[in-house]
Chain A
Amino acid sequence: MTPASGHRGQHGAMMSQRMRIGLAVLVLLLAVLGIRLVFVQGLDPSGHAQAAVSERLRTVPIPAERGDIIDSQGRTMATNVERYDLVVDQRVVDDFRDRDEVSGLQTTVTLDSALADLGEALDEDPQDLEEALVGDSPYSVVKRGITPEERRQAMEIGIPGLYAEPLSQRTYPSGSVGGSILGFVGADGQPLDGLELSQQDALAGADGERTYEIAADGVRIPTATFEETPAQDGQDLRLTLDQDLQWFAQEAVAEKANQYNAQWGNVTVLDAETGDILAMADSQTVDPADPGETDELFRRPLAVTQDFEPGSTGKAITFAAALEEGAVTPTDAFTVPNRYDFDGQVVNDAVRHPTYEMTAAGIFARSYNTGTVMVGNEVDEQVRYDYMRATGLGEDIDIGMPSEATSLLRPPEEWDARQPYSTQFGQGYTSSVLHSISMFQAMVNGGVHQDLQLIDAYVDPDGREHPVDRAEGERVFSEETSEEMLRLFEGVVTEGTGDGAQVPGYRVGGKTGIAQAAGEGGGFDGHTISFIGAAPLDDPQYLVSVSIHRPQGHWQSWQVTDTFSDVMGHVLSTYQVPPEGDEDEAYEIQLDD
């Protein structure tokens, strides 16, 4: 070995020594990294990979759109609009820099001037806005339910920390037309009353969900995870109501209730053949957009919620039962005094009158209590009770609203000494407007009773319709009895107590009623006046009921037949029923005395 080579060998040994140390260090580092890698990738006790994915992963609910409520003609009564809640993270709000549009330079915008701009965009006082924007809260609502346009203007100002949360808001384009039937939803979108509440399952649908990964700029990474469960939109609800007719009826009954300064009034319009409710109008109606403004009484339809003694309109069932049983014919003669003692129970007429010789039809037309009991006594009380039950009295009526219409009618074995007589002229039991009009429906529709309908069909988002099952009509009276009842009803209008109900060009019939209204402490402290009638009598197609509760003034001055005539006239011309003439076929009422 040369010295040179010996030096080199020494040097090489030293090098290899260093190399070994360096290698060892490298291997050590590699081992650390490797172990860490195995730890992170293989063992992963704290789920780093999952955490990374979760960081990018976004799961957003896809809200199902609530179904609309439409009327029988397809007009929208309730629908949804996109709105935003404007919220702010108060900790970030400050003066900010913005690019001046004219000069192109960055300028500082003071919070005050930004607030003034925001005030203009939202139509709010900047002072109030300052209260909402300045503070330490990370979440403060500036304004709820702003429109997309307001949102755009507000966001353009560029106030830091200000953002808009989208929401779907329920709107009722026709305001309080049919408001108590539609019901309303709370600020959080939860249904509170009316069809909105009772039909929630159909209207709401089912929310969906979308899961995806986003990049740092917030845009979805196209190749990464993407899962979507589509939302199932709610079904639309098609009602039997006619929105325009509903409005007309609301105007008419409001005018009448106003005239007599009554507590409430109701007009209900029914399709006599199908039992479809075309209008259910109250003297005041809640505006679903602002339910708190309306008295609680008027937040639900009165035809459903109020049951009261029907009074003389209830005489119709007494006569129909007597005719159907063959106990009486319309032209049978009766001696009708002003006051009569039936086995110790004295029945009076509302007005004093001389004793008349008159027909059964005449008793009905003039609405004499004494004569009615004479007619009704020809029928066994259990049989009469069965007829009352067959037309729906004493049973709840469910038309798909949150509550059912009730009627209180005890069976004969529970009646007191007076009820065998008082139930004959519409006292001693209660009936809602729906019960009364339903009872008349059976009488004018050839004796066939149809269940009342408010909901016509459920319509899927793709347009498929699911009509509501309609029960087959039930025959309560014969065709002949129905014919005779129509002529009795006509007598009321042509010769009796309901002469204001006439509609020129049509044969009209109905029955008036005045009942005492029970007060809260028991006893009677007011009246309910009503008229229920049908037209045209040649082939009855529509029924209109008018009820006014607790009118002020003297009872003999009250008339609701003019309201009936207005509404019925409107119904007949709107639905293009040709005027076939008003030649009446009423029975003789008075016999020569």
Chain B
Amino acid sequence: MSTPAAAMPQPQSTPRAAAVRRPTLRALPKLHRRHRGLTIGIVGLLLAALVMVLTVNIHVSNTQYRVVELQAERQLLVQQNQALSQQNQYLESPQALSGSAVDLGMVMPGQAGALDLESGAVAGEAEAADSADRPSSFVQNPLQPGSEGVDTLDVSAAAAEAPSGLLGAGALELLAQPTPGEAESSDAAEESGAAQPSSEYDGGTIPAPSWD
């Protein structure tokens, strides 16, 4: 069909035009359906990979910020924990214990007796404690953590949330209002372990401390 049409108007240009056109048509072949699918597939794969890399990257970066956040939170908790431990260690120090005991009206223990659980015999003679025998206080009190700027409000708030309610500053408040029996056993526990049997087994050979 093309040969007669080309031969008629401009015969001299026919071989040239034909020579030019033919390879052009061959160079741009119609895309095969399966080739197109392949291209779309490859592009899709590339896109998916890109999206995946992006997603992973965004996720990792976000997690990194979360890590920083959690680390800050951890540090805060460590610091709160430290403040509470310090408070605890201060209250555990012998000077503070002795001071608290005196504030509660406790005195130095008298001579303790001991009960032999096997024979049931009482060894030694228990004596009543001298109500005026307070511990001396030559050893200087350690620096109270609260006085160097630890937020004591935070500490007591945290202590109040503790499950047993017997932690930190709460313990002392509780001790300040005991039943007489409790006062004695905590006296014995804090001042001298050996005084405990006499107060428990004899139902109070040590008279309750005076509340002056």
Contacts and interface: CB of A to CB of B under 8 A. Distances in A.
Given A147-B149, A254-B136, A172 B94 contact: no
A173 B139 contact: no
A76 B89 contact: yes
**Leading 7 A-B pairs by shortest Cβ distance:** A175-B142, A579-B124, A247-B94, A254-B138, A173-B89, A573-B194, A505-B124
A395 interface: no
Interface in B72-109: 76, 78-79, 82-83, 85-86, 89-90, 92-95, 97-98, 109
A177 B141 CA distance: 9
B140 A176 contact: yes
Chain A interface, >50% SS class: mixed
A224 B4 CA distance: 71
28 contacts: A79-B85, A81-B86, A146-B149, A147-B149, A148-B76, A149-B83, A149-B149, A150-B149, A173-B89, A174-B92, A175-B139, A175-B143, A219-B61, A219-B65, A222-B63, A222-B64, A243-B94, A244-B94, A247-B95, A250-B138, A285-B139, A287-B142, A505-B111, A570-B192, A572-B194, A573-B194, A576-B193, A578-B124
Interface stretch (B12-20, B112-120, B157-165): B112-120
Given A82-B82, A123-B149, A171-B86, A574 B194 contact: yes
Contact of A258 (B86, B95, B138): B138
Interface of B: 60-61, 63-65, 68, 76, 78-79, 82-83, 85-86, 89-90, 92-95, 97-98, 109, 111-114, 116, 123-125, 135-143, 148-151, 154, 192-195
B30 to A, nearest CB: 34
Nearest to A281: B139
Nearest to B76: A148
B194 A580 contact: no
Contacts of A244: 94, 97
A474 interface: no
Nearest to A220: B64
A285 B140 CA distance: 9
Contact of A251 (B64, B65, B135): B135
Interface of A: 75-76, 79, 81-82, 122-123, 146-150, 171-177, 219-220, 222-223, 243-244, 246-248, 250-251, 254-255, 258, 285, 287, 289, 504-505, 569-570, 572-574, 576, 578-581
Contacts of A223: 60
Contacts of A243: 94
B139 A176 contact: yes
B68 A147 contact: no
Given A149-B154, A174-B95, 20 more contacts: A146-B149, A147-B148, A149-B151, A172-B142, A173-B86, A173-B90, A175-B139, A176-B140, A220-B64, A247-B139, A251-B136, A251-B137, A254-B138, A504-B111, A504-B125, A505-B111, A572-B194, A576-B114, A579-B113, A579-B123
Contact of A174 (B114, B124, B142): B142
Most buried by B among A176, A250, A505, A572: A505
B192 A81 contact: no
A255 B124 contact: no
A174 B94 contact: yes
Contacts of B95: 174-175, 177, 247
